[in-house]
Amino acid sequence: MVLFLLLAAGLWGLGWMLKLPLSVRAALIGLLYLGVVLALLVLPENAPLRYSLGGSAGQWLVVGALAALGYGYAMVLRRVRARVRPENRPPSAPAAAADPEGPLTETELDRYARHIVLRELGGMGQRKLKAARVLVVGAGGLGAPALQYLAAAGVGTIGVIDDDVVDLSNLQRQVIHGQATLGMPKVFSAQKALADLNPQVTLRPYHRRLTADIAPDLIAGYDLVLDGCDDFATRALVNRTCFAAGVPLISGAIAQWEGQLSLFDPARGGPCYACLFPAPPAPGSALSCVEGGVVGPLPGVIGAMMALEAIKRICDIGASLQGVLLIYDGLWGETRRIALTRTPGCPVCGAAPASEAP
């Protein structure tokens, strides 16, 4: 046994000096092990070398079997980990710890210098952004610019959920994606772009459709939700779930030349999305981007405004769009504001008084 250990140590050390990969060094020791077992099987009973090697091949076979079991377990565990969906893996810590009370690093001071000199935002606001967790529903026309500006602003943890893949027709307006990511799930394309834009933030990609069974747990893990999806059923689900969790919701929508957005926060006295849209639109009354088209820069305008509203809410600065529907007409360059109030008979928040909303 001692002789084997000395030879194994020698092989390992030689491999280290030659900078051989760990797998090659392990293979050399495995060959040494096979040589020892073979020697014990063919050597005479009274051979001196036999005693130096331990004397019995059976003991070495047991050791080899245990080593094989350990290696097999490790390989199975590695395969299981590789098959875990990215959104279910424990998120890695941001490059800079999200500590709102801690000082900003030198890198952060340089990166966010134009924020820090803003009187309304400053260093304290930047630390709030670093500590914030924001979920973006949809990585398409509205989600793309919102994600870019949230990451550039230094929002510490950003989640994005979308089950779609990048299509050539998306590139006219969904600027976070590109030719190189055609066919890639949008959430991973966004992850790739944001990692290059700001590696100091953590992006959690969820490549799946938002459904009622996962929405409560997902949304409960975030401080704020930005909804830029393109179907009413998902919007209604997001609104119900945000209301139940007491999470503010910034909702945006676009069609052709016009966009709109508002902040819905019944927990703080405002209306919810269902107060404004209690039922799905009548068939044919609301054309999708596929049916009616959309001018390319419009999602950028509304998506960037959604990110701006998020920054204001996180830092508690300025006047938010809570209780206001902002409508932007890109064709005529007009902006309108419509006041919104809680609807007593709202199917979502109407049963809860404004002062007692969750």
25-34, 84-93, 153-162, 275-284 — which one is most confidently predicted on average? 153-162
Residue with tokens 């989640």: 159
User: pLDDT-derived band of residue 355, with 50, 70 and 90 as boundaries?
Assistant: very low
pLDDT at 351: 67
Average pLDDT over residues 236-241: 96
Query: CA-to-CA distance for 185 and 213, rounded, in angstroms?
Result: 22
pLDDT at 289: 67
- CA-nearest of 156, 154, 125 to 312 is 125
pLDDT tens per residue across span 282-340: 666 566 666 678 999 999 999 999 999 999 999 999 999 999 999 999 999 999 999 99
User: pLDDT-derived band of residue 94, with 50, 70 and 90 as boundaries?
Assistant: very low
- CA-nearest of 92, 197, 186 to 154 is 197
User: pLDDT-derived band of residue 68, with 50, 70 and 90 as boundaries?
Assistant: confident
pLDDT at 17: 73
User: pLDDT-derived band of residue 67, with 50, 70 and 90 as boundaries?
Assistant: confident
pLDDT tens per residue across span 187-201: 999 999 999 999 999
User: pLDDT-derived band of residue 173, with 50, 70 and 90 as boundaries?
Assistant: very high
- Going along the chain from its start, the domains and CATH numbers come out as 2-83 (no CATH), 95-356 (3.40.50.720)
- CA-nearest of 233, 258, 267 to 249 is 267
Average pLDDT, the chain: 83
Range scoring the smallest mean pLDDT among 42-56, 142-156, 212-226: 42-56
pLDDT at 114: 94
pLDDT tens per residue across span 97-143: 445 456 788 899 999 999 999 999 999 999 999 999 999 999 999 99
pLDDT tens per residue across span 265-275: 999 989 999 99
CB atoms inside a 10 Å sphere around CB 199: 14
Residue 91 has pLDDT above 50, yes or no: no
pLDDT at 344: 87
Residue 280 has pLDDT above 90, yes or no: no
Average pLDDT over residues 233-243: 95
- CA-nearest of 223, 219, 226, 216 to 309 is 226
Residue with tokens 């007009």: 334
Share of residues in the chain with pLDDT > 90 (%): 58
For residue 339, give Cα distances in angstroms to 6, 266, 334: 82, 15, 17
Average pLDDT over residues 159-185: 94
